[in-house]
């Protein structure tokens, strides 16, 4: 999310460079606060909030549709979802929450925005991962929550998948 942590710092830096920034945040209230803070600190009023929950495929599709309709092109897409330490939970799409949030949502988002990115001659896709990817493994039963791994393993596995997505 662009509301906290690395995502917020990246958005702040891009705004300081006078970029048009679209903040993709799950929470409207937190997103509005972040939008106002970045505008105030950078003087860049071309910072815009859009609601996105990468754990929901419907939300990803809705967000992508809105961006594809509103934007002429995209120069950079930064996939920064990083939920960790979550309890086993199955999303309305039938997916394990950590996998849906960190991996499948960003993968779908990238694919749905790819044509807008191709319109920019210098487009970039940045998938934020973690050194913990080295501890990850691919187990397809974990994606639906059938074989939910202990604490950080689900996070590590999704970060490995992010690396593989980037290499693809």
Please, what are the domains in the chain? 52-167 (3.40.50.720)
Pairing of strands 21-25, 76-79: unpaired
Average pLDDT of span 142-160: 70
Per-residue CA distances from 102 to 18, 20, 111, 121, 156 (Å): 28, 24, 15, 28, 10
Q: Is 155 a catalytic residue?
A: yes
pLDDT at 99: 84
Q: Per-residue pLDDT for 21 more than 90?
A: yes
Encode pLDDT of 69-114 as tens digits.
Answer: 999 999 999 998 777 667 777 899 998 888 888 888 999 999 999 9
pLDDT in tens, 141-150: 666 666 666 6
CA gap 59, 19 in Å, rounded: 25
pTM above 0.85, yes or no: yes
Catalytic choice (155, 159, 160, 162):
155
């Amino acid at each position: 999310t662009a509301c906290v942590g690395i995502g917020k710092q990246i958005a702040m830096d891009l705004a300081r460079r006078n970029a048009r920034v679209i903040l993709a945040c799950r929470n409207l209230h937190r997103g509005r606060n972040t939008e106002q803070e970045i505008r105030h600190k950078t003087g860049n009023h071309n910072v815009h909030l859009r609601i996105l929950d990468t754990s929901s495929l419907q939300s990803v599709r809705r967000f992508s549709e809105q961006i594809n309709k509103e934007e002429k092109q995209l120069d950079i897409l930064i996939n920064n979802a990083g939920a960790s330490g979550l309890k086993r939970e199955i999303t309305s799409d039938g997916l394990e929450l950590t996998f849906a949030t960190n991996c499948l949502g960003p993968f779908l988002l990238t694919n749905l925005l790819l044509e807008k990115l191709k319109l920019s001659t210098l487009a970039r896709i940045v998938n934020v991962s973690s050194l913990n990817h080295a501890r990850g493994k691919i187990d397809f039963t974990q994606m639906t929550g059938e074989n939910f791994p202990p604490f950080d393993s689900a996070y590590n596995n999704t970060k490995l998948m992010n690396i593989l997505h980037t290499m693809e």
